[in-house]
Amino acid sequence: MSLVEYSAHELKQLLVSGEITSIELTQALLDQIGTYDDHLGAFLHIDAERALARAADIDHRRQAGKPLGPLAGLPVAVKDVLCDQDGPTTCASRMLQSFRPPYDATVVARLKAADAVLIGRTNMDEFAMGGSTENSAFQVTRNPWDPGRIPGGSSGGAATCVAARMAPLSIGTDTGGSIRQPAGLCGVVGMKPTYGRVSRYGLIAFASSLDQVGPLARTTRDAALLLETIAGHDPHDATSLEVPVPAYSHSLEQPLAGLRLGIVREHFAAGLDPSIEEAIRQAVEVYQSLGATIQEISLPHSKYAVATYYVIAPSEASSNLARYDGVHYGHRTDESQLQAELNARRQQLQAAGDERGLDQLDNGLVRMYRLSRAEGFGPEVKRRIMLGTYALSAGYYDAYYLKALKVRRLIRQDFDAAFGQVDLIASPVTPSVAYRLGEMVDDPLAMYLVDLYTVSANLAGLPSISLPCGFTREWLPIGLQLQAPPLEELRLLRGAHMYEQATDWHKRQPALVRQRHTGV
């Protein structure tokens, strides 16, 4: 078996016992990336030299018997949305193409302190807006199970690199499903922790009240290992929770005795792909066979979740992205051309005696903002900025933004009531499997509706996990989503682990990758 196929947990044991070195492991993954990534496009940036130097340093320290962090020598890929002062952080946007942060995100700092080897920066939808990774300004990422299809998004690179064995662990972010959905579509484990569990400091904001950082891996044990490294209170994030972080990976194996698993009546409606419905029902049967009791529950406001989300997220985004104005960092338009154009336009208007036109003509500064932003942002980002600006503007605030904040509370209250009856809620991750590249580009609303099972957890701040639970006839992965009450990550991981132990979906490899390793 090639090194790239081992789980992070197994690799850690091999590293600790001295059977392998971090250099060997890092090199093997760099080779895997070299082989597949030209085609799959999971990474935006690889600094092989730095990664190998870091691996060598950790190997030396290990040989010298020095104390090492919990991820010592393990390569981790990071979504290009978390600031790292050692390299570029672009958010897959032309706006930040040349941005070099002068500081580390707390999650990045914790990974470095845990002696992880940061192997590369993964592709994403620009500013994490989108569910297909097609909205990257730089490249398309392909689903390793069918390179003609999307990997999901926005953490598409993060899911792809794990599924294609280019990294055992990766960091993603989830604002409305951006970890769980690509994890589901790529057949890996992805988890969004409780809001506030992981610091957002240094995470380039999309929608601040919804964004969370979380792990992607091939097993729940690996996800637990990564989560316990990055979770915990951070004084730099006022929304971060000051509660202890359990050692998830240690108590993972205890099954949940007397588990009450909820399934949501409203989830099994028209629009759900029958093969997905079938896989979810079978997963529920697995739980039943493990001793869980199954209970049907209702989340009466779940049908409003997508509408609520697509008011709140763009509103916050329009505010968060106002800082990209080409003044202090980021892309700025060509100023000489801008002045020439403005002068020409002014002369035109003067000649025509158009007083109103002259009055409305942007000044140089306003035009600089408008052009810098128009050139720096892609269409999906512009669409959301426009939507959010509109929802917050005078006269519409109450009907859209304020209304959505109220419905958000009702959605949360639904969950609070449901968790009085059940311990975990099981559901699909997506209503359909990975679609073909380009298929939805012109239909944003259809694309938004794909988020219907995932956005509620963000609105309510709940932890939620996606794990492989089957395949369609065309060998496209299907994800099972589990949700738990706030701060019950351990319950969620134990529940997921129970299922994983009873099934082997997580062991499947995409044909593309499997073929190469046959006979190795």
Partner 1 sequence: MTALSRNDVEKVALLARLQLTDAELDTMTAQLGQILGYVDLLAEVDTTDVEPMAHAVELCNVFATDQVMPSLPRERALANAPRDNGRGYLVPAVLGD
Partner 2 sequence: MPETSTHPYTTVIGLEVHVQLATRSKLFCGCSTQFGAEPNTQTCPVCIGMPGTLPVLNRSAFALALKTAIALNCHIPEFTKWDRKQYYYPDLPKGYQISQYDLPMSVDGFLEISDPLEPYAPLRIGIIRAHLEEDAGKSIHDEVAGRADSEIDLNRTGTPLLEIVSEPDLRSPAASRIFLQELKLLLTYLGVSDCNMQEGSLRVDANVNLHLEANGQRVATPIVEIKNMNSFRAVQRALEYEASRQYRVWQETGQQLGQASKQTRGWDEAAGLTRPQRSKEESSDYRYLPDPDLVPITTSPAQVEQIRQSLGELPSALRARLVREGNLSDYDANVLINQGQELVDYYQAVAAKCNDPKTAANWVTQEVLRELKEREMTIAQIPIPAECLADLIHAIQQGQLPGTRAREVFTLMLNDQITAAEAIGKLGIEQVDESDLVALCQELIDANPKIVADVQGGKQQAIGALIGQAKKKNPNVDPGRVRSICLELAMKS
CB 325 within 8 A of CB 372: yes
Is residue 407 a contact residue for partner 1 (CB under 8 A)? yes
Q: In the bound complex, what is the minimum distance in angstroms from residue 204's beta carbon to partner 2?
A: 4
Given 62, 110, 221, 367, the residue binding partner 1 (CB under 8 A): 367
79 catalytic per annotation = yes
Angstrom CA distances, 466 to 105, 190, 304, 339, stand at 25, 5, 22, 51
Burial class (CB within 10 angstroms; exposed 0-12, middle 13-18, buried 19+) of 444: middle
Is residue 185 a contact residue for partner 2 (CB under 8 A)? no
User: Strands, DSSP E only, in 220-368?
Assistant: 260-264, 293-297
| Sole window of 14-22, 245-253, 325-333, 464-472 interacting with partner 1 (rule: CB under 8 A) | 325-333
Give the residue from 256, 262, 284 showing the smallest Cα distance to 421.
262
Task: Scan residues 284-323 and list those touching partner 1 (CB under 8 A).
Answer: 301, 303-304, 306-308, 310-311, 318, 322
Which residues, other chains included, contact 11 with Cβ-Cβ below 8 Å and sequence gap of 6+? 3, 20, 25, 74, 168
Q: In the bound complex, what is the minimum distance in angstroms from residue 205's beta carbon to partner 2?
A: 7
Q: Which does 507 bind (CB under 5 to 8 A by kind): partner 1, partner 2, none?
A: none
Cα gap 388→310, rounded to integer Å: 9
Cβ closer to partner 1: 188 or 312? 312
Is residue 100 a contact residue for partner 1 (CB under 8 A)? yes
Structure tokens at 104: 């580390």
The active-site residue out of 93, 132, 154, 372 is: 154
Given 237, 277, 375, 439, the residue binding partner 2 (CB under 8 A): 237
Angle at which helices 220-230 and 106-113 pack, to 10 degrees? 110
Given 205, 216, 306, 387, the residue binding partner 2 (CB under 8 A): 205
Count the Cβ atoms, other than its own, within 10 Å of residue 257: 7
CB 322 within 8 A of CB 370: no
Give the residue from 207, 170, 208, 206 showing the smallest Cα distance to 188.
170
Is residue 329 a contact residue for partner 1 (CB under 8 A)? yes
Given 250, 406, 436, 514, the residue binding partner 1 (CB under 8 A): 406
Cβ closer to partner 2: 175 or 249? 175
Which residues here bind partner 2, judged by CB under 8 A? Answer: 82-83, 89, 91, 96, 99, 101-103, 105, 200-205, 207-209, 235-239, 315-316, 318-319, 321-325, 327-329, 365-366, 369, 389, 392-394, 397, 401
Give me the active site residues, please. 79, 154, 178
